[in-house]
Structure 1
Amino acid sequence: MKSISLQDYLQIKNKVRTIDVRTTMEVKTLLKFDWAENIYVSDLIDNFDYYFKDKNEVIITVCNAGNRSGQAADFLENQGYLNAYVLDGGIYNYYRKVK
């Protein structure tokens, strides 16, 4: 799994595709990124051809702490999306250090 540091993500977050892989309920009730798409990890895996077309696109996957987003980034990389990364420490780390 490839990861991206919080510092690097802050510099590129407006230029990349950020995908929150948590459930809809988690996104509604927990801290979130307003700019992130919500695609639950199992839906991402089951339907990745629907959601992803450009294998050169830079994709950052996020979740609470990085576990499910790591699974999603690994899956995408295995499908040929070589610019898929997981955000180090997840959303909680972002809000702990940035907000």
Structure 2
Amino acid sequence: MSKYSISNEEFYQLLGQGWQVIDVRDDYEYRNFKRFEPSLNISYPTVLNNPEFRWPNLDERLIIVCNHGNRSALTARHLRNLGYKNVFVLDHGVYGLDK
């Protein structure tokens, strides 16, 4: 569990407030396995390499998801270290939404 994890309930509350969901799985995983819609699929390496080109505003409101929460936790930690303030991780990933 990440320091910035949110529960399923918090996830749906933030969605209602206009937060953007970023799915950091690779293209194959995103297309062929369970996913949450609407979400933007940007693979983990892509987000890590140049986040400022995609989100120039450090106050951007982002929820990072992956299968189970591991890659999303690494991504969120990286973005927070770069100064992004509003970045959270869905606890247990997209597979945890059914629990």
2:61 corresponds, among 58, 62, 86, to 58
1:24 correspondence with 2:12? no
- TM-fit CA distance, 1:43: 0.5
2:5 corresponds, among 3, 6, 10, to 3
Map of 1:38 onto structure 2: 41
Write the letter of the residue equivalent to 2:40. E
TM-score of the two chains, using structure 1 as the length reference? 0.91
CA distance in 1, matches of 2:13, 2:64: 16
- Unpaired runs of at least 5, structure 1: none
Deviation per CA, 1:38-92, whole angstroms, max 9, x where unpaired? Answer: 0101010112121111111211000000000000000000000011111111100
- Unpaired runs of at least 5, structure 2: none
TM-score of the two chains, using structure 2 as the length reference? 0.91
Moved over 3 A (4+): none
Aligned sequence identity (%): 35
Deviation per CA, 1:13-52, whole angstroms, max 9, x where unpaired? Answer: 1410110000000001000012110010101011212111
**RMSD (Å) for aligned C-alpha atoms:** 1.0
CA distance in 2, matches of 1:51, 1:3: 22
Number of equivalent positions = 96
